């Protein structure tokens, strides 16, 4: 572990780069923010809940700016992206990490339609809208990296999670199209499909529930935030230059396709 930390400290793949991370104030998004900052990026967090903003900005000492943005609102998404372009002059990286699970542990016919719509708007439409307004800047630069956070649920479908599974399947399908649309422009657009990652929320769950979630994972454990952030940072780096429209696996062997 000490060697890994020292190696990260020596890597500066994102020096002089500007990044946007939606849903970056907690969980998976915050793990990506930390890794990007550690490697030199200037990061703007788009979040709906601003309760963590002061703490995050203080932690990174001016390297991170936080903006309250509802990614499901097209006007808010557009104006927030325009503000980043005006302030930073460029956008090199976009990570669409904002997401909600919605109602779970229900048969599909029991799910409230409004809740289904909320999950689809947040997880799928939100990723589309922020990408829509970031892409023109990346095209002018002839360079950009977009990473959409999908889920193993979008590949396999999780029983009792119809809205979440459908939305993440949509993210995977959208990523395939975006990757092909801009394949010859200097942009790469990929997705990352994790199984359960050990976030603070998972840490608070009863051990038997964690074991239930990991039962289908051949490695018999959750992924770690460090593992998640390491793979995400590679995908949005200049090193990942010949892969686009692809969904990377981070599932401990649960998905091998």
Domain ranges (residues) in the chain: 2-246
pLDDT at position 133 = 98
Please tell me which residue in 3, 133, 143, 164 is annotated as part of the active site: 164
CA 148 → CA 94, 151, 198, distances in Å? 8, 10, 19
Three-state secondary structure readout of the chain: CHHHHHHHHHCCCCCCCEEEEECCCCHHHHHHHHHHHHCCCEEEEEECCCCCHHHHHHHHCCCEEEEECCCCCHHHHHHHHHHHHHHHCCCCEEEECCCCCCCCCCCHHHCCHHHHHHHHHHHHHHHHHHHHHHHHHHHHHCCEEEEEECCHHHHHCCCCCHHHHHHHHHHHHHHHHHHHHCCCCCEEEEEEEECCECCHHHHCCCHHHHHHHHCCCCCCCCECHHHHHHHHHHHCCCCCCCCCCCEEEECCCCCCC
pLDDT in tens, 144-162: 999 999 999 999 988 888 9
Residue 164 annotated to the active site: yes
Q: Cα separation of 255 and 169, whole Å?
A: 14
Taking Cα atoms as reference points, which of 68, 24, 64, 29 lies closest to residue 50? 68
Q: Cα separation of 84 and 137, whole Å?
A: 11
Mean pLDDT of 172-186: 98
**Domain at 2-246: CATH architecture:** 3-Layer(aba) Sandwich (3.40)
pLDDT in tens, 230-249: 999 999 999 999 999 999 99
Q: Residue 33's pLDDT band (boundaries 50, 70, 90)?
A: very high
Q: Residue 3's pLDDT band (boundaries 50, 70, 90)?
A: very low
Q: What is the pTM of this model?
A: 0.93
């Amino acid at each position: 572990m000490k060697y890994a930390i020292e190696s990260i400290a020596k890597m500066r793949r994102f020096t002089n780069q500007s990044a946007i991370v939606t849903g970056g104030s907690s969980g998976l998004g915050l793990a990506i923010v930390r890794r990007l900052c550690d490697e030199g990026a200037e990061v703007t967090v788009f979040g709906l809940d601003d309760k963590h903003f002061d703490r995050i900005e203080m932690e990174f000492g001016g390297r991170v700016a936080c903006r309250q943005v509802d990614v499901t609102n097209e006007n808010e998404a557009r104006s927030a992206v325009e503000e980043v372009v005006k302030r930073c002059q460029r956008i090199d990286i976009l990570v669409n990490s904002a997401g909600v699970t919605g109602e779970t542990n229900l048969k599909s016919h029991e799910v409230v339609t409004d809740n289904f719509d909320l999950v689809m708007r947040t997880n799928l439409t939100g990723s589309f809208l922020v990408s829509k307004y970031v892409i023109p800047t990346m095209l002018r630069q002839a360079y950009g990296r977009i990473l959409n956070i999908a889920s193993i649920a979008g590949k396999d479908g999780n029983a009792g999670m119809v809205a979440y599974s459908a939305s993440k399947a949509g993210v995977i399908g959208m990523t395939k199209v975006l990757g092909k649309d801009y394949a010859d422009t200097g942009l790469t657009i990929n997705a990352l499909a994790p199984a359960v990652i050990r976030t603070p929320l998972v840490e608070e769950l009863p051990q038997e529930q964690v074991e239930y979630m990991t039962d289908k994972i051949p490695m018999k454990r959750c992924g770690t935030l460090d593992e998640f952030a390491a793979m995400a940072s590679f995908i949005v780096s200049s090193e990942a230059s010949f892969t686009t429209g692809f969904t990377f696996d981070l599932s401990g062997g649960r998905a091998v396709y």
